[in-house]
Chains A and B, each alone.
Chain A
């Protein structure tokens, strides 16, 4: 016990890293499931269905498959860089998540904030620093494969990511002007009150610019030129197989989580509730949500599921029901502990909305042409976010002198 209190920073940080890594890895796996299910619904299909009830064990099966596939390295590849690239992609994508606060920063364990791994004063600068190096993973993968399609994909993606990074950075400066800070905690605190105080209302133009640039920055449809199947096979990761391919895949989803979290923090109040603090009924929302899920799953288990799937879904039902009951009990008997639940609840709820948006965009929009992509980034998005910055600064000076 002495050791723990003496090295609180170290012990708590390591514990937080372990928990966050586990949660994020699981979330990444289930995001693929989520995406496949939603896209399938858009296209009138079922999506993953056979591995586990509703395909819930599909991510696990995919992971095992990736692990046991043969890992082919092209003979002409630059071995060192070829291996380095996927590690760099995934490591940077996961490092960025360490800066994200998932809950109130004033909740402490052993004097350390619980919901953020790295609580630095200028989180936004650090986040942009980490994401700005992320492009190397893609570029180097394309180059080191020593093959034509990956090289073209790598060149395209570096050009695209540099172009859209400019607009992305500029579009959030308006928020910085409003919040007077680079720190996530200060930016979130500046939006306290209710949904009316969130930054997306005065910064709607900045938000839309950010959202567009973020989709492009993560190389997703309709900006997924670097890996356009019809033109470039699979772009920069054509030559990658087995777990190295999986690492690029995970990095893409981790980047989606990062940019969505950033949108949540900067424009949608982070872990703040959309309701005023005085509306105490909101403490029951997590319980309501979980128990609703449990009820739906119970109905499914009894009516539709057969055989082993029924057993698996019964487990899901009990998990959701147990967690829901725990939240309900906490809300009724120990309301002083509710901030520990409410912060992450709202944050994850907002995050899921963004993920849903990402998937719907992927399911419904066609791909841009490459020249359209570049001229859109430089000739439309950049001027608009620049104008937004100038107007925000002007309005702030007029109002506050």
Chain B
């Protein structure tokens, strides 16, 4: 077994365990920490795929900025332990579990049918070369400039909208 292979399963295990903790933990901060763990192990998985830039940006943006805001808000509001009512327990039992099982079966089915999964597993996938930061920026700022800028403007509008909504009370 090669080192990347071992690392992949280790990180995949950490990511799945983190995701489970995220859902099962009752303390909001613990859930947030678990989500950070998931994001960081995803970043290392990107590294294994040779996408250094994406890995770095994944950590900076998700773990370093967005989740800091989450933790900040949880701390500021002093959110207590998650409550479990009779109704929420029933909903978990009769809606949550069946849907989760359905989702897993669906994933398994499509992964088994798709050719990409088999190609990756057998190592015959076409594009296994790593993408350099330069190639990535060429794609963003030349080939896909319009969608990129449109998304940027959309995000800017969302930020301004949030500001306007937050100011309404004054």
**A residues lining the B interface (CB < 8 Å):** 78, 80-81, 84, 120-122, 125-126, 128-130, 132-133, 135-136, 139-140, 142-144, 151, 154-155, 158-159, 161-162, 165, 182
Q: Contacting B68 at CB < 8 Å: which of A84, A122, A130, A139? A: A139
B37 to chain A, nearest CB (A): 11
| With contact pairs A158-B68, A159-B72, A162-B69 given, residues A128 and B56 touching in the complex (Cβ less than 8 Å) | yes
| Complex-state Cα separation, A337 to B140, whole angstroms | 45
> Is B117 in contact with chain A by the CB < 8 A criterion?
no
- Chain B nearest CB from A56 CB (Å) reads 39
CA distance A80 to B52 in the complex (A): 32
| B interface residue numbers (CB < 8 A to A) | 27, 29-30, 33, 36, 40, 43, 52-53, 55-57, 59-60, 63-65, 68-69, 71-72, 74-76, 78, 133
- Say whether A125 contacts B53, CB under 8 Å: yes
A-B contact pairs, 24 of them (CB 8 A): A81-B30, A120-B52, A121-B52, A125-B57, A128-B60, A129-B59, A132-B60, A132-B64, A132-B68, A133-B40, A133-B59, A135-B64, A135-B68, A136-B36, A136-B71, A139-B68, A139-B75, A144-B29, A155-B72, A155-B76, A159-B72, A162-B69, A165-B64, A182-B133
Contact A158–B71 (Cβ < 8 Å): yes
Do A162 and B68 contact each other (CB < 8 Å), given the known contacts A121-B52, A122-B52, A155-B76? yes
Nearest neighbor of B67 in chain A, beta-carbon distance:
A136
Which residue of B has the minimal Cβ distance to A120? B52
In the complex, chain B residues whose CB is within 8 Å of the CB of A125:
52-53, 56-57, 60
Other-chain residue from B33, B56, B68, B133 in contact with A126 (beta carbon distance below 8 A): B56
Inter-subunit contact B53/A158 (CB<8 Å): no
On chain A, the residues within 8 Å of B33 by CB distance are: 81, 84, 140
Across-interface contacts of A144 in B (CB, < 8 A): 29
Residues on B with C-beta less than 8 A from A151 are 75, 78
Known: A133-B63, A162-B65. A154 touches B75 (CB 8 A): yes
User: Does the CB pair A142–B75 fall under 8 Å?
Assistant: yes
Nearest CB on A from B121, distance (A): 28
**Do B133 and A132 touch (CB < 8 A)?**
no
Q: In the bound complex, do residue B53 and residue A136 qualify as a contact, i.e. CB atoms below 8 Å apart?
A: no
Q: Which residue on chain B has the smallest CB distance to residue A142?
A: B75
Given the complex, which residues of B lie within 8 Å of A132, measured CB to CB? 59-60, 63-65, 68
A8–B43 Cα gap in the complex (Å)?
A: 26
Chain A to chain B: the 3 pairs with minimum beta-carbon distance, closest first: A132-B64, A125-B56, A129-B59
Please tell me if the beta carbons of B71 and A129 are within 8 angstroms of each other in the complex: no
**Whole-angstrom CA separation of A144 from B55 in the bound complex:** 29
Interface pair B71/A122, CB less than 8 Å apart = no
**List of A residues within 8 angstroms of B74 by Cβ:** 143
Q: A132-B60, A132-B63, A182-B133 are in contact. Are A143 and B75 (CB under 8 A)?
A: yes
Q: Nearest Cβ distance between residue B60 and chain A, in whole angstroms?
A: 5
**Chain B neighbourhood of A142, CB < 8 A:** 75
Q: Which residue in A80, A84, A121, A139 is a CB contact (below 8 Å) of B71?
A: A139
CA distance A126 to B27 in the complex (A): 30
CB neighbours of B68 from chain A (8 A): 132, 135-136, 139, 158, 161-162
Give every chain A residue within 8 A of B63 (Cβ-Cβ): 129, 132-133
Could you say which residues of chain A place their CB within 8 Å of the CB of B64? 128-129, 132-133, 135, 165
B48 to chain A, nearest CB (A): 14
Q: How far apart sit A135 and B71, CA to CA, in the bound complex (Å)?
A: 10
Nearest chain A CB to B4 CB, angstrom units: 14
Contacts of A81 in B (CB 8 A): 29-30, 33
Q: Tell me if B56 and A122 are in contact (CB < 8 A).
A: yes
CB distance from A149 to the nearest CB of B (A): 14
Q: Are B60 and A143 in contact (CB under 8 A)?
A: no
Q: How far is the CB of B87 from chain A (nearest CB, A)?
A: 28
Question: Chain B residues with Cβ under 8 A from A154's Cβ?
Answer: 75
The distance in angstroms between the C-alpha atoms of A84 and B32, with both chains bound, is 14
